[in-house]
């Protein structure tokens, strides 16, 4: 018994063999599948519902599902004054700005491409944390960012992307802006001193986001169309209940129970699932260049969070970063 307890903290995903851990691994798989399908489902919804109303409706559905879950589990609270800033930050930057821009972008961009662009978010978090939170940027993170940005540039290769298509430019630009807004939310979340748990605050974030999105939708899109096809209604229900409410709940449990590295690497399967499902359900062509870009971006994220580098390469990158920082500090003092 003693040896098992000593090994458990170092077991990573292998701790699924101990009691109760299979549930946590199953929840991680559920999150990957649910969120991978969520992008495809959202593409279906925005074909019949205007983008702002689509995200407003799914957020309101999430509120309806989350409220009883929090009440039944004893997690319902009133946020303290110290947690109000993080409620505002996540609601505004992630649930409103990210969701709205992503939904509008989906009108003009394929679901598969949208997933890949959306998952560039971690590439913006590392340099943002260095600039604004004074977190050290490690050599492996530099390698990861370079790999990820190389994959992003490959997506906009003039031989494969029509730079004269205004709608394509608008859609792709909005999705990249959405990813940056998501990264801002993550940066603030990282800097915040939490009083309540993230799951205890999610209801208030969705309530605020639902109200703001509804107001924006009324302002810019008018009264919503009530007549929807069965497939659109089913997609909207999935989007709000499974993709948003249950997905967020499952991810909260996973973040608490599994090692952070295992969770981070596991969630990288979401874009792969999304691209596959967009081809299977929506009939989107599997573009080899998109797959190569996705691979480079995901490998870049994986390297930045997990893979150790040779000592000589780490030293060289650290020295280069030190010189860049020294020059930057010198220019500020002049």
In a domain, 4, yes or no: no
Which of 307, 312, 325 minimizes the C-alpha distance to 130?
325
Give the pLDDT score at 332: 47
Q: What is the full DSSP assignment across 197-226?
A: -HHHHHHHHHHHHHHHHHHHHHHHH-SPP-
Give the pLDDT score at 327: 57
In a domain, 333, yes or no: no
In a domain, 183, yes or no: yes
Rounded to two decimals, what is the model's pTM?
A: 0.79
Which of 278, 286, 273, 294 minimizes the C-alpha distance to 33?
273
In a domain, 7, yes or no: no
In a domain, 72, yes or no: yes
Which of 59, 74, 82 minimizes the C-alpha distance to 199?
74
- Residue 2 burial class via C-beta count within 10 angstroms: exposed 0-12, middle 13-18, buried 19 and up: exposed
Give the pLDDT score at 265: 67
How confident is residue 1, by pLDDT bands cut at 50, 70 and 90? very low
In a domain, 155, yes or no: yes
The sign of the torsion formed by the CA atoms of 57, 58, 61, 62 equals: negative
In a domain, 198, yes or no: yes
Domain count, the chain: 1
Q: Which domain range does residue 297 map to?
A: 22-225+238-323
pLDDT single digits (tens) 192-238 = 888 998 889 999 999 999 999 999 999 999 998 777 888 889 999 99
Alpha-carbon distance 152 to 289, whole Å? 11
Q: What is the DSSP letter of 228?
A: -
Give the pLDDT score at 321: 53
């Amino acid at each position: 018994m003693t040896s098992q307890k000593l090994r458990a903290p170092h077991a990573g995903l292998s701790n699924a063999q101990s009691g109760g851990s299979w549930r946590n691994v199953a929840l991680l798989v559920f999150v990957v599948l649910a969120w991978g399908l969520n992008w495809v489902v959202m593409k279906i919804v925005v074909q019949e519902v205007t983008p702002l109303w689509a995200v407003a409706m799914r957020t309101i559905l999430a509120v309806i599902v989350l409220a009883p879950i929090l009440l039944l589990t004893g997690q319902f609270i009133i946020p303290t004054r110290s947690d109000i800033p993080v409620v505002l930050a996540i609601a505004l930057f992630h649930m409103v700005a990210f969701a709205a821009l992503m939904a509008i972008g989906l009108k003009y961009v394929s679901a598969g491409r949208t997933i890949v662009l959306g998952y560039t978010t971690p590439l913006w978090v590392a340099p943002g944390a260095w600039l604004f939170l004074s977190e050290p940027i490690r050599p492996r993170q530099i390698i990861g960012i370079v790999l990820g940005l190389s994959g992003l540039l490959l997506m906009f290769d003039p031989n494969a992307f029509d730079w004269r298509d205004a709608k394509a430019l608008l859609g792709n630009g909005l999705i990249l802006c959405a990813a940056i807004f998501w990264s801002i939310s993550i940066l603030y979340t990282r800097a915040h001193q939490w009083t309540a748990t993230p799951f205890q605050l999610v209801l208030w974030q969705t309530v605020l986001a639902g109200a703001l999105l509804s107001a924006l939708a009324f302002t810019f899109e008018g009264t919503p169309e009530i007549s929807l096809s069965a497939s659109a209604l089913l997609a909207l229900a999935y989007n709000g209940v499974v993709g948003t409410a249950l997905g967020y709940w499952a991810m909260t449990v996973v973040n608490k129970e599994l090692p952070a590295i295992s969770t981070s690497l596991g969630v990288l399967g979401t874009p792969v699932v999304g691209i596959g499902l967009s081809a299977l359900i929506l009939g989107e062509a599997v573009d080899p260049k998109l797959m190569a870009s996705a691979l480079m971006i995901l490998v870049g994220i994986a390297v930045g969070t997990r893979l150790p580098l040779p000592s000589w390469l780490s030293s060289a990158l650290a020295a280069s970063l030190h010189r860049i920082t020294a020059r930057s500090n010198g220019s500020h003092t002049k």
